[in-house]
Structure 1
């Protein structure tokens, strides 16, 4: 996981990308505060958006914030822009924030989100019936660790990601214990270790990301998500509990402070125009997480190869 640390190299990149843009007319020289979180893809999105805004002459500040807790700052204007609100885990928070009047949905990023339980294909030998989720009821112990036995272990993402996995386990009466990885990097380091040893594992995997392409496996097939699943206990497999279904899928949204458009109308147009798709993002994440490249360098490389794309966002 590459944290947002502004080294001399990163600062030099920012200056280089902004070169020639200082004369551009901007509505306010106050920095546009863009949030960064704890997974590489989101930091890439935030950095890419920020560097393009700098090319248009805007000042940008990157602010590390919790994924769900950031909405408090977006409502008040202490934060200005969030580049990745996943419909899979952040839709309810986004809808509430927009309804409050403090936050605006700036549209789809172009990326499509999928987040779900995932297992390597070799686990089908010890847990026949997969990918049907009901198979996990019969072979939970096959996914156990010394810490969770006889319960199976589900390795979730960092707790700040949300996702209702504890509620899902309880609602579907699965004999699993949810254990949260401390960071995005820790999550995938454990996947790599287990995969190399063919050790038992079921964990949170998501796309856009490189892991579903690199490793052979499948997403668990839970009852399909419907909005009532999260709000109406009477819906679904368990008539007494909500969250008895899989996670939703959908767009990855851009969202920001409701005052952003009035303060920086030109920037708002650029933000709305931002568009990148899963394959391109997956390639950049791979370069950072697997090849060990620095995020500023990866963003600069993409901008150099796709100048006509991001220049189009400025028009």
Structure 2
């Protein structure tokens, strides 16, 4: 029969053999989360940030350019990246992951596409759409021309820091267009909606998931299908001397993080890996912000309050 002393010793050794569970947060260092400036991405980042704040982490929301963020993540100046889309950040994401200093944290669960888009009534002045060759016709070019670009047509693009290779595509495919960059996603959207209300012909950059193509009848221009060689090898495609003579890639929205942060905040990184949203949810959240005028931070807070059953498994 064990003595009281022996029992106490056995209990003590048993306790020592069980690994201690790491306290959360593991560090009081703030986690620097990228805020890119587009309402949809900012809502995602606020949802993540506010959920891990509930675990005790300190957060710094840090503005950064969409493509420029990857250099900051590489050096550890930024910790959690705003999701990179295959459509415009495919090459930048690959380069960042190849360094080993930027982690691929999985996709967000939302398929994406973004490209040249037009409201359906534009087909009246550009018959042949969605085939891209309709954009070469003089009457179509004239209808899409504005004072800034005449006699060429205008393609209304997103903010210049979004990338997208629009100018390269125009040159490679011989399109009589000039690119005009909107100053922000809000300005881009406002110009599209204003044009639709006036029934003014317009070709502009939009994307899915997003409320504009969901709310207004329209189509994406149909280009030659994307292949990696289109961007990498000028000999690919219709123009043997120029790359980018095709549509943009479609794909997913990828989560990124500074590799060095995994050992500092392992639980916060685990939450980021688990976090998933869907197309319908994302469209509804962006609509609340862009159309109903609810601040993005408040949109995120409301979603967290109403969807505990969705996000609770991410923190377990």
TM-score normalised by length of structure 1? 0.91
Aligned to 1:47: 46
Per-residue displacement from partner, 1:116-138 (whole Å, max 9, x unpaired)?
A: 00001001011100000011011
Displacement after TM superposition at 1:262 (Å)? 1.4
Aligned to 1:212: 213
Equivalent residue runs for 1:64-143 within 5 Å = 64-138=63-137, 139-143=140-144
Displacement after TM superposition at 1:84 (Å)? 1.2
Displacement after TM superposition at 1:83 (Å)? 3.1
Say whether residues 1:175 and 2:191 are aligned partners.
no
Displacement after TM superposition at 1:297 (Å)? 1.8
Q: Secondary structure at the match of 1:90?
A: helix
Equivalent residue runs for 1:5-84 within 5 Å = 25-84=24-83
Q: Distance in 2 between matches of 1:296 and 1:68?
A: 23
Q: Distance in 1 between matches of 2:242 and 2:125?
A: 29
The 8 Å contact of residues 110 and 278 in structure 2, kept in 1 or not, is answered as yes
Equivalent residue runs for 1:250-265 within 5 Å = 250-265=251-266
Per-residue displacement from partner, 1:151-206 (whole Å, max 9, x unpaired)?
A: 00000000000000000000010000011001101001101110000001100001
Q: Distance in 1 between matches of 2:181 and 2:296?
A: 25
Per-residue displacement from partner, 1:280-301 (whole Å, max 9, x unpaired)?
A: 0110100110001112221121
Displacement after TM superposition at 1:234 (Å)? 0.6
Structure 1 stretches of 5 or more lacking a match? 1-23
Q: Secondary structure at the match of 2:87?
A: coil
Q: Secondary structure at the match of 1:115?
A: strand
Q: Distance in 2 between matches of 1:31 and 1:225?
A: 40
Aligned to 1:285: 286
Per-residue displacement from partner, 1:45-80 (whole Å, max 9, x unpaired)?
A: 110110111112211110000111111110010100
Q: Distance in 1 between matches of 2:286 and 2:81?
A: 18
Aligned to 1:186: 187
The 8 Å contact of residues 36 and 82 in structure 2, kept in 1 or not, is answered as no
Q: CA RMSD in A?
A: 0.9
- Higher CA-based Rg: 2
The count of aligned residue pairs is: 292
TM-score normalised by length of structure 2? 0.91
Q: Secondary structure at the match of 2:263?
A: helix
Per-residue displacement from partner, 1:213-247 (whole Å, max 9, x unpaired)?
A: 11111000011110000000010111111000000
